[in-house]
A and B are shown apart, each in its own frame.
Chain A
Amino acid sequence: MASLRLVAIMLLVGSSAFAQTYGVGRTPSADEIRALDISIGPTGEELPLGRGTAKEGALVFRQKGCVGCHGAAGIGGGPAPALQSKQGPEVPIWERERILPLRAPFATTVWDFINRGMPLGNEGTLKPDEVYALTAYLLFLNKVIPEDEVLDKQSLPKVKMPIGDDYARLPVWKSGTPRLQGYPY
């Protein structure tokens, strides 16, 4: 009987109906959250509407001054990393250059990176169409997608990146345990 009551209490506590402890903080509106939520995860659920192709991206790449740091068509030579691989797909991915739009496990990572971090000095100013176009351009330069592929909210998360499944997953973290099971150091 007592244990049944305990179960009932635990169910209550676990339910979303359970009230806040301190009642501090304000409930943001859905629009407010959407405006701030620039975390684009692998499913792409947060992606905004918009579209872009490699051809359009080539134009944006020149207009926004990307060439100045990454070189023409991202071949490098400037102060920022190269964005176009010099090697072909016959070379295993981990032996190729560490180029984001080539090595990233998800095309959403490329989109997220450009959207947050570029262009230098004007971060956060690109429009969704421009980010889609730049992503398409860089993926095309690295032979990940064909030149005419249209990237949008639906197609971007479906892009198959060359790395496939060949990268390390992090072990489950648990407080008070070694950083790597069995490792003494």
Chain B
Amino acid sequence: MDSKRTNRRELLKGGAALAGGLTLGVPVHAQEHDHAIVPGNQNASPMIMGSKELIEYGQRSKYVTSVRISHGGRPSPDEFGKVMHVASPLQDSVGTITPSSLHYVATTRGSYMPDIDPKQHTLLIHGLVDRPLTFTMADLKRLPSVTRLHFIECAGNRHNGRQKNVQESHGMTSCSEWTGVLLSTLLKECGLKGSATWFVAEGAEEVKGASSMPIAKAMDDCLIAYGMNGEAVRPQNGFPLRLMAPGFEGIFHTKYLRRIKIVDRYYMNYNDYGHLDKDPKEAALAFQIGPKSVITHPSGDQRLPGKGFYEISGLAWSGGGAIRTVEVSTDGGKKWNRAEFKGTPQRMAHVRFSYPWTWDGNETEILSRCTDEIGQQQPTREQVAKYWNEPFERNYRVPGLDNSVMPWKIARDGSVTNGLA
């Protein structure tokens, strides 16, 4: 009792650096630390002075240096300040939500960001409706809202043997908490006509990118989002308004949303042309995203310091619904073990999974695979090739968005490399 009290007093004198620890009641580590390194009331670390910026908006520690990188070989920004594809650092991710500053970015072609004044921004809904309506941002915020976790993934998120790490191979997906109005709420306000079968969503960027989507999707779960992770949607993610089409390829999640037109056919406009295909299976698979998972730790470019215990951790998601199970193999796919979820899997959202593993120091390969709530399974490339009766080779191209299993190779020295290499 006595010693505890003394210790507490010393800690208090120790000041702000240890204040976080007090509430958790951590005397054991703190005590050792105190006696071994910092006698008396000296501080263990230099202190950061408060500044206007830190008080008003905050920032991460200078020791945390995880950043996004250009994806697919084209630099972002380019020499003109245009942005192409930018991948999220999944190797450093923890939990389920991607920080807004690290959310992946994709543009239909090199693009500037429109600098939209939300007071001037409106959303027009028209076409095959009884009452076309224009909504201001203030109008939208009056309506009943929903808040949901959803991932977005770019169709270009394909892994191959040349990529070094999970940011290069899988970084074109992210997950955020989105807040806004269900599109079905707005369409009920407008009154859909019986002939309505498709809708075209259009953004306010340079090319006014437009995509056709089924009206059934609009009425099911599309979301007109003005909020992202507790604040306004970021400009790179579509400020002030973004259409969320949960589980559909990223390009459908129309940024800078300004207009929705209700129509009676596929409109074959700007982004639709990119989906034009000869093969009906390729066309069908390039809409809704299949079940997919990847181990983010340990993953490529990382190094295990030695044999012993490691929590294998990764992300799983599906465009078909919530993830039902994730399995992890630590022996190259011979034995599969049920992984644990961190939290309850949500529909069309990343879920963090983990598996406790003791590495024996031998060379091995670790992999993950998942199943979603409608029974779709994440395949290996061999399985996909076999299904389509196509010859299999290591870099077999999976039709639609590549949702095949990703292997990571672990060498005896603990280095982790791409198992497809």
Q: List residues of chain A with CB under 8 Å of any chain B CB.
A: 16, 18, 20-22, 24-28, 32-33, 36-42, 94, 100, 103-106, 108-109, 112-113, 116-117, 121, 123-124, 166-180, 183-185
Contact = CB atoms under 8 A, between A and B. Distances in A.
Interface stretch (B18-26, B37-45, B133-141): B133-141
Interface string B387-421: 10000000000001001000000000000000000
Contacts of B109: 117
B320 interface: yes
Interface stretch (B65-73, B226-234, B285-293, B358-366): B285-293
B278 A167 contact: yes
Contacts of A167: 276-278
Interface residues of B, number: 72
A113 B124 contact: no
Contact of B374 (A22, A100, A178): A178
Given A100-B273, A179-B319, A185-B384, A26 B134 contact: yes
A39 B189 contact: no
A119 to B, nearest CB: 11
Contacts of B210: 39, 116
Given A36-B258, A179-B320, 14 more contacts: A26-B139, A27-B133, A39-B261, A39-B267, A109-B272, A117-B207, A123-B208, A167-B276, A167-B277, A168-B279, A169-B266, A170-B266, A179-B285, A179-B400
B280 interface: yes
B35 interface: no
A112 B189 contact: no
Which among B189, B214, B220, B284 has the greatest number of chain A C-beta atoms within 10 A?
B284
Which among B266, B319, B383 has the greatest number of chain A C-beta atoms within 10 A?
B266
Contacts of A116: 207-210, 269-270
B378 interface: yes
A39 B377 CA distance: 38
Which among B130, B142, B268 has the greatest number of chain A C-beta atoms within 10 A?
B268
A18 B278 contact: no
B376 interface: yes
B54 interface: no
Contacts of A105: 268, 276
B279 to A, nearest CB: 6
B234 to A, nearest CB: 23
